[in-house]
Amino acid sequence: MNFDLTEEQAMIRDLIHDFADAEVAPGAVDRDRTGHFPVEVFEKLAKLGLMGLPFPEQYGGGGADTISFAIVVEELSRVCASTGITYSAHVSLGGAPLALFGTEEQKAAYLTPLCRGDYLGAFGLTEPDAGSDAGGTRTTAVRTGDQWVISGSKCFITNASYARNLALTAVTDRSKGTSGISAFIVPTNAPGFTTHCNYEKMGLHASNTTELVLEEVAVPLENLLGKEGNGFKQFLAVLDGGRIGIAAMGVGIAQGAYDKSLRYAKQRKQFGRTLSAFQAIQFKLADMAMNIELARTMVYKAAWLKDQGRPFKKEAAMAKLFATEMCMKVCDQAVQIHGGYGYMKEYEVERFMRDAKLLEIGEGTSEIQRLVIAAQIGC
């Protein structure tokens, strides 16, 4: 067993660590205030060749592994979780369904531009009445002649305003239950397709979260992704990988909150001593450091299993559950260590706390992760 990063992983970590500090951190407070979407950051990430990092080089990807992807998500989230989730969703929800289930033609046509960073990837599963219970999908796709006609709506979809195509689920045969759900690649400029971006969110203000409305959107038969009736199964498999991304976000946000807290505790003086001289504060920082390290190790393990082609569903759910709940606790303690200043936007840890909450909800809530783990351990 070897806990060291490979030379390539370490190189990617150094590159993205410096990039996050120099290019992403400086505007994060403003973007949280204004909601400005950081297109310019993604153009630079594309120039660095990171937008298709874990995908095969033949489609313009970086041919890197899932651990490297997790490192990039972690480092971006360390300074700006909105940037972290945009990148994570682009790769693990936008690109992954195409890489896993696309035909050669589909990969060439749709995965390659994602790897180049021409536009962002997105994934439409959730509906107003089908969240945790994704099997309750109501959007329909009806085969008429040489096309599929899709009608329905999706909610809370990340990145769709910046996507030219996205994969989504629709019911093709209601009588078959979840085996009657299929996946489609849909151009966002197709007649009848509208994207709305009107949510007022608790956090992640600089990420793009949208509602999709599809009114008889016609796509060619070849836009079916994978086999007819396999859409539900495919998207659950995509979510297993996506959970590694959300877990990495948890590690990154927690690391950012911890770094700020340690620095603050060493500077701030009360009762004639720095906060870091008080054992009560030392214990908080020690717990934070320990839990971040444990979560990171679990994220890397889940990513490593995925890279070995071995089952990783249980480990991805464990990593997501542990890292995201840990992250909320670390952010709470970070605000506490900062005292009244922690409650102020200027010190940033309140933003980390607001952003972190989504991690316990998206890509399967904490309750759903416990259900997944329970099923995996044979309950």
Q: Angle at CA 163, nearest 5°, toward 155 and 106? A: 110
Residue among 125 and 214 whose Cβ is closer to ligand FAD: 125
136 binds ligand FAD (CB under 6 A): no
Binding track, positions 191-230, relative to ligand FAD; x by CB under 6 A: -------------x----x---------------------
333 binds ligand FAD (CB under 6 A): no
Considering only 56-64, 120-128, 270-278, 339-347, which stretch makes contact with ligand FAD by CB under 6 A? 120-128
Q: Angle at CA 61, nearest 5°, toward 57 and 66? A: 105
89 binds ligand FAD (CB under 6 A): yes
Question: Using CA atoms, how far apart are residues 186 and 122, in angstroms rounded to an integer?
Answer: 11
Residue 170 bridge partners (DSSP): 182
Question: Using CA atoms, how far apart are residues 162 and 43, in angstroms rounded to an integer?
Answer: 12
Residue among 161 and 179 whose Cβ is closer to ligand FAD: 161
The three-class DSSP label of residue 145 is coil
**Active-site residue, selected from the candidate residues 57, 216, 363, 367:** 363
126 binds ligand FAD (CB under 6 A): yes
What are the phi and psi torsion angles at 76 (to 5°)?
-65, -45
165 binds ligand FAD (CB under 6 A): no
Considering only 56-64, 153-161, 172-180, 249-257, which stretch makes contact with ligand FAD by CB under 6 A? 153-161
Scan for tokens 């997105």, then name that residue.
122
**Alpha-carbon Rg of the chain, whole angstroms?**
21
Residue among 286 and 374 whose Cβ is closer to ligand FAD: 374
Q: What is the full DSSP assignment across 315-347?
A: HHHHHHHHHHHHHHHHHHHHHHHHHHHHTSGGG
Residue 150 bridge partners (DSSP): 141, 217
132 binds ligand FAD (CB under 6 A): yes
37 binds ligand FAD (CB under 6 A): no
Which residue from 41, 358, 359, 372 is in contact with ligand FAD, where contact means CB under 6 A? 358
List Cα–Cα distances, 157 to 55, 153, 162, 260, 317, in angstroms.
22, 11, 11, 31, 21
Q: How far is the CB of 131 from ligand FAD (least distance, A)?
A: 2
361 binds ligand FAD (CB under 6 A): yes
76 binds ligand FAD (CB under 6 A): no
Residue nearest to ligand FAD (CB): 131
Question: Using CA atoms, how far apart are residues 18 and 32, in angstroms rounded to an integer?
Answer: 21
Q: What is the full DSSP assignment across 52-66?
A: TTTS-GGGT-----H
125 binds ligand FAD (CB under 6 A): yes
Known active-site residue 363: yes
91 binds ligand FAD (CB under 6 A): no
Please count the residues of the chain: 379
Question: Using CA atoms, how far apart are residues 244 and 74, in angstroms rounded to an integer?
Answer: 10
158 binds ligand FAD (CB under 6 A): yes
Residue among 114 and 368 whose Cβ is closer to ligand FAD: 368
The catalytic site residues sit at 363
What are the residues binding ligand FAD (CB under 6 A)?
Answer: 89, 93, 123-126, 131-132, 156-158, 204, 209, 358, 361-365, 367-368
